[in-house]
Structure 1
């Protein structure tokens, strides 16, 4: 069930036993004329995906959710919603587990970490349809289990708080999203979102490696610029990075 403030604000929830992916279910709802503010949650997925089309394993007991937003902003501002979603997820995980920064941290651009181990990922996709720009945000959160044999450390919420489950996290996440999105929607709202995100950022001021289409680039993670691009102090000078994979040592 969604949180109380989310329901009061008009957010709705659909729960499916199994789907190919909640992202595709959200797109289908959009095509059928859904007005948005719709959470779609599945107990399992058989074709879940993450960034760059990577497969996202979907065993039972974890959260697989997508949020459909109809005309939430201009296309140029859509990447900022990834930071809003990351903060909401951090808020929700903190509420469910009792953890806080720096143990609970956000890795640019879209991962939640617990003590450096990946706990969740976000996927944000936008599209123009019927003259409006729409956004779907996918949330995949390890709650009951985490994958093994990954090239990076992984963990799950119940390993840190036995009472963590899908229902508690979804209620906390939907309320936290409503609160953060409402704040972002105010004039100049990305400034406070950016500041709050940086307070929870993993590897800030440390040396990182960004894997970019042209190859890896290493440097010191300085922060975010006013639009959310990563600021990197590299050998050739300061760089602003719109998209890429952030690595720290042997961890991803």
Structure 2
């Protein structure tokens, strides 16, 4: 049985748990359009049409965690991208709590993946929708976590959490995630009130402490082509700071690759 942590329930989060659906992100958006104010988690044992960033298919066998969280008007629209980093931190904390494995083995890959020993164990999908024209802003954060199974045929290796914690279940993972997200989200909102000059600062610092590839040569695959340089950090808006031969650049979105890490080594 999948259920919320007591702390998440006490903070006002609710849960809908289902056996199968096309996409938990789509279900969360439909709930928002039907008037649900959130915060609402939707968890499914299986997805028939799960997706990742850029519409990529997300393999969704039973045994893994597929969860989406609906938040309505959680912040000013310009600050909404920060929620991807809040979610990443919460996921890192939750996985560390259930496995006992933390940084540096467990690391965050900009902008939205979680790595274990250099292999992908989870991804995030952050989507924003303005409801009914000028209505409230619905933010949906989708989490896909490889608990029991890891997909094959991916651009780089993936792992399942049961490799380091045999017997771990999606219910264990969700209970920890619901607790860590409630705590991290509350801390982010409080920091935004107390740090008006740099509201993203505390979250950025914690995220960078857990980030993969800082100070390393990286490749960024962008719609216009590839860029190479040194991953220097994040700016105050969450953009990747890249030091290239032609100078410093800020990257809003892209696919980040680390040439010297395990998950980018070609497999026969």
Question: After TM superposition, where is structure 1 displaced by more than 6 Å over at least 4 residues in a row?
Answer: none
Deviation string 1:111-170 (CA, Å, 9 cap, x unpaired) is: 000000000000000011142111000000000010122220100111111132111111
- In structure 1, runs of 5+ residues without a counterpart are none
TM-score between the two structures when normalised by the length of structure 2: 0.92
- In structure 2, runs of 5+ residues without a counterpart are none
Deviation string 1:82-109 (CA, Å, 9 cap, x unpaired) is: 0000000000000000001000000000
**Match of residue 36 from structure 1:** 38
Deviation string 1:52-104 (CA, Å, 9 cap, x unpaired) is: 00000100000000000011111111110000000000000000000010000
**Match of residue 207 from structure 2:** 197
**Match of residue 247 from structure 2:** 237
Q: Tell whether the 8 Å contact from 2:128 to 2:137 is kept in structure 1 after alignment.
A: yes
**Match of residue 136 from structure 1:** 140
Deviation at 1:190, TM superposition (A): 2.1
Deviation at 1:214, TM superposition (A): 1.2
230, 233, 238: which one aligns with 1:220: 230
CA distance in 2, matches of 1:68, 1:209: 33
Please state which structure has a larger fraction of its residues in strand.
1
Deviation at 1:217, TM superposition (A): 0.3
**Match of residue 67 from structure 1:** 69
109, 112, 123: which one aligns with 2:111: 109
192, 214, 217: which one aligns with 1:207: 217
CA distance in 2, matches of 1:110, 1:26: 19
Deviation at 1:226, TM superposition (A): 0.8
RMSD: 1.0
Aligned pair count? 252
CA distance in 2, matches of 1:49, 1:17: 18
Q: Map of 1:115-194 to 2, 5 A cutoff? A: 115-130=117-132, 131-186=135-190, 187=193, 188=195, 189-194=199-204
TM-score between the two structures when normalised by the length of structure 1: 0.98
Q: Tell whether the 8 Å contact from 2:4 to 2:178 is kept in structure 1 after alignment.
A: yes
**Match of residue 27 from structure 2:** 25
**Match of residue 94 from structure 2:** 92
Q: Tell whether the 8 Å contact from 2:64 to 2:148 is kept in structure 1 after alignment.
A: yes
